[in-house]
Amino acid sequence: MAETVDVAVIGAGVVGCSVAYYLAKMGVSVHLYEREAIGSGASAHATGSLSLLGAEFSPGPSFQLALAGYREFPSLVPELEESTGMDLLYQRRPSLRLALDEEEETFIKSLMPWQQEHVAMKWIDGAEVQRIEPRLTKQVRGAAYEEESAQLDSYRLNLALAQAAEKKGAQLRIREVKSLTVQRSTGQKPGQPPGGNSRVTGLITNDGEISCNTVVMAAGVWSAGFGDQLGFPVPVRPLKGERLLLRYAGAPLPVLISSPKRGHMISRLDGLLSVGSTGGRDYDQQESHLGTEYDRQPTAAARMELLSRAVDVLPGLADAELVQQLAGSRPLSPDGKPIIGPIPGWEGIYLATGHTTKGIHLGPITGRIIADYVTRGSPQIPVELDDFLPRRFQDIQSPDFTASGLRAEE
Ligand SMILES: Cc1cc2nc3c(=O)[nH]c(=O)nc-3n(C[C@H](O)[C@H](O)[C@H](O)COP(=O)(O)OP(=O)(O)OC[C@H]3O[C@@H](n4cnc5c(N)ncnc54)[C@H](O)[C@@H]3O)c2cc1C
């Protein structure tokens, strides 16, 4: 007879571990299934930037979710650090979004009117930027100065969420989920859209079958593979990203830095400088950055590009030592927004995937939303969540990822 659990979560990245953590906190019996190791997907490679100022968030529900996601961390981080004894290298500092040319200045300023409604920020000129950090290139024309932004180590966050979830009763199973077990409504054939009342009843792993009331699909870029069985599209595609960790002589940067064309530059609390990331904006042709498989191969081209961008922003970095190059693939959705919630026509399954460039920032709030769905039937946070529901892709035939891929910054 199949082992039984209340909720089975597929994937132990930041999103799946957040779901397991919030569910376990609410006393739900939960198993977390991971085929390789905790954090073997995108979550281990991310910068861990929790930033509201990029172009990823747009006015309305997207920005509301971003704010709610940002506000999870000040209480979650100490909670996790206390539970696990780990240091998540969490820092909250002012940030500068730099403009090195006119195009960047126009772009940054075009977003500011609505960003200023929610975030304490202002435009400062090049001289003011130099006063804050004199080592920056004199080419800087000005910057959006934000009073507070944040960053942490995403891999440590991933490990801490998993460990804290386990301490609250969740069980981690290193098993690959091969398929779902389902009860189809009358007349529904495999691979066809459900007619209503179809139900996911469990999982088949490489080591047996598990029966459960609810499955949460949080398998990052691999979630797409389950769409065929459900007869419902799970439109997620890998978007490769690379970044570097550098060691250099000199004091850490006092602010978190980014620029639309040149990416981020962040002094981490372990003393290393993170620079990156490559993303859609670095390529002219869609196929050169939109993969079909998860790609964790660092490339010489990205290394050269990132080093040259970094030196453009902070010329003193010409002598920096390369400590590590990271590469991973983000779970890109066609509109760049996460896919969170129930699947039309199916009971017993929720999607929590497609977080694109913001899965660390939005992982914990996604965990809270899914835990609310499971325990209370609907999310309790004061954010309009319709924009993120899977049903927006119900009738999509061949999803187009070009625009969201090219827009991706971090
Ligand atoms: C270079 C780079 C920089 C980034 N910077 C940032 C940033 O600063 N801020 C930010 O918010 N986001 C950032 N991101 C994006 C972020 O990393 C992703 O959005 C996020 O990690 C997605 O998390 P996830 O849990 O959905 O997926 P993943 O972390 O990929 O986890 C999915 C897990 O599912 C497992 N799995 C897959 N299939 C199965 C199966 N069949 N059975 C069991 N387990 C399975 C995998 O092994 C994996 O562990 C960055 C990404 C990259 C690559």
pLDDT in tens, 70-107: 999 999 999 999 999 999 999 999 999 999 999 999 99
Residue 284 has pLDDT above 60, yes or no: no
pLDDT at 194: 67
Mean pLDDT score of the chain, rounded to an integer?
94
For residue 289, name the pLDDT band (cuts at 50, 70, 90): low
In this structure, are 170 and 250 located in the same domain?
no
Closest residue CA from atom 41 of ligand 1: 177
Closest residue CA from atom 21 of ligand 1: 43
pLDDT at 8: 98
In this structure, are 256 and 323 located in the same domain?
yes
- For residue 151 and ligand 1, the question of a CB distance below 6 A is answered with no
Domain extent, residue 393, equals 3-45+156-237+335-407
Q: Report d(CA 406, CA 281) in Å as an integer.
A: 5
- For the stretch 309-349, pLDDT in tens is 999 999 999 999 999 999 999 999 999 999 999 999 999 99
CA of 354 to the centre of ligand 1 (A): 9
Quick one: which atom of ligand 1 is closest to the CA of 218? 26
In the listed set 307, 330, 353, which residue is the last one of a domain according to the structure?
330
- For residue 240 and ligand 1, the question of a CB distance below 6 A is answered with no
- For residue 163 and ligand 1, the question of a CB distance below 6 A is answered with no
The verdict on residue 250 lying in a domain is yes
Residue 49 has pLDDT above 70, yes or no: yes
In this structure, are 218 and 341 located in the same domain?
yes
In this structure, are 110 and 254 located in the same domain?
yes
Closest residue CA from atom 15 of ligand 1: 357
User: Which are the contacts of 130, defined by CB distance < 8 A and separation ≥ 6?
Assistant: 136, 138, 140
CA of 116 to the centre of ligand 1 (A): 30
- For residue 222 and ligand 1, the question of a CB distance below 6 A is answered with yes
In this structure, are 248 and 325 located in the same domain?
yes
Q: Report d(CA 317, CA 248) in Å as an integer.
A: 7
The verdict on residue 31 lying in a domain is yes
CATH number, residue 310:
3.30.9.10
Max mean pLDDT among 6-20, 172-186, 386-400 falls in: 6-20
pLDDT at 272: 98
Closest residue CA from atom 2 of ligand 1: 46
In this structure, are 251 and 316 located in the same domain?
yes
Please state the rounded mean pLDDT for residues 213-228: 97
The predicted model scores a pTM of 0.97
pLDDT at 2: 77
Please state the rounded mean pLDDT for residues 287-306: 84
Q: Report d(CA 328, CA 359) in Å as an integer.
A: 13
- Retrieve residue 13's tokens: 């990245």
- For residue 180 and ligand 1, the question of a CB distance below 6 A is answered with no
In this structure, are 145 and 245 located in the same domain?
yes
In this structure, are 342 and 225 located in the same domain?
yes
Cβ(13)–Cβ(329) under 8 Å? no
- For the stretch 235-267, pLDDT in tens is 999 999 999 999 999 999 999 999 999 999 999
pLDDT at 306: 95
User: Which are the contacts of 336, defined by CB distance < 8 A and separation ≥ 6?
Assistant: 56, 356, 357, 404, 407, 408
CATH number, residue 228:
3.50.50.60
- For residue 52 and ligand 1, the question of a CB distance below 6 A is answered with no
- For residue 49 and ligand 1, the question of a CB distance below 6 A is answered with yes
The verdict on residue 21 lying in a domain is yes
CA of 15 to the centre of ligand 1 (A): 8
Q: Report d(CA 365, CA 341) in Å as an integer.
A: 13
Please state the rounded mean pLDDT for residues 105-129: 96
Please state the rounded mean pLDDT for residues 15-30: 98
CA of 377 to the centre of ligand 1 (A): 26
Closest residue CA from atom 12 of ligand 1: 358
In this structure, are 253 and 273 located in the same domain?
yes
Helix (H) or strand (E) holding 301: helix 300-313
User: What is the DSSP annotation of 196-261?
Assistant: S-EEEEEEEETTEEEEEEEEEE--GGGGGGGHHHHTS----EEEEEEEEEEE-SSPPPSSEEEETT
Please state the rounded mean pLDDT for residues 62-74: 97
- For residue 230 and ligand 1, the question of a CB distance below 6 A is answered with no
Closest residue CA from atom 44 of ligand 1: 34
The verdict on residue 194 lying in a domain is yes
In this structure, are 323 and 247 located in the same domain?
yes
In this structure, are 143 and 205 located in the same domain?
no
CA of 329 to the centre of ligand 1 (A): 7
The residue to mutate among 154, 175, 305, having the most atoms of ligand 1 within 8 angstroms of its beta carbon, is 154
Total domains, the chain: 2
CA torsion angle 110 113 114 118 (round to 10): 130
Residue 280 has pLDDT above 80, yes or no: no
In the listed set 330, 359, 393, which residue is the last one of a domain according to the structure?
330
Please state the rounded mean pLDDT for residues 113-121: 94
User: Which are the contacts of 157, defined by CB distance < 8 A and separation ≥ 6?
Assistant: 14, 43, 48, 80, 88, 360, 363
In the listed set 302, 330, 358, which residue is the last one of a domain according to the structure?
330
The verdict on residue 75 lying in a domain is no
Q: Are strands 91-99 and 256-259 parallel, antiparallel or unpaired?
A: parallel
pLDDT at 104: 96
In this structure, are 269 and 232 located in the same domain?
no
Closest residue CA from atom 4 of ligand 1: 46
The verdict on residue 84 lying in a domain is no
- For residue 57 and ligand 1, the question of a CB distance below 6 A is answered with no
CA of 360 to the centre of ligand 1 (A): 8
pLDDT at 225: 95
Cβ(354)–Cβ(221) under 8 Å? no
The verdict on residue 218 lying in a domain is yes
Cβ(270)–Cβ(156) under 8 Å? no
- Retrieve residue 260's tokens: 């639309």
The verdict on residue 66 lying in a domain is no
Cβ(279)–Cβ(292) under 8 Å? no
The residue to mutate among 9, 14, 161, having the most atoms of ligand 1 within 8 angstroms of its beta carbon, is 14
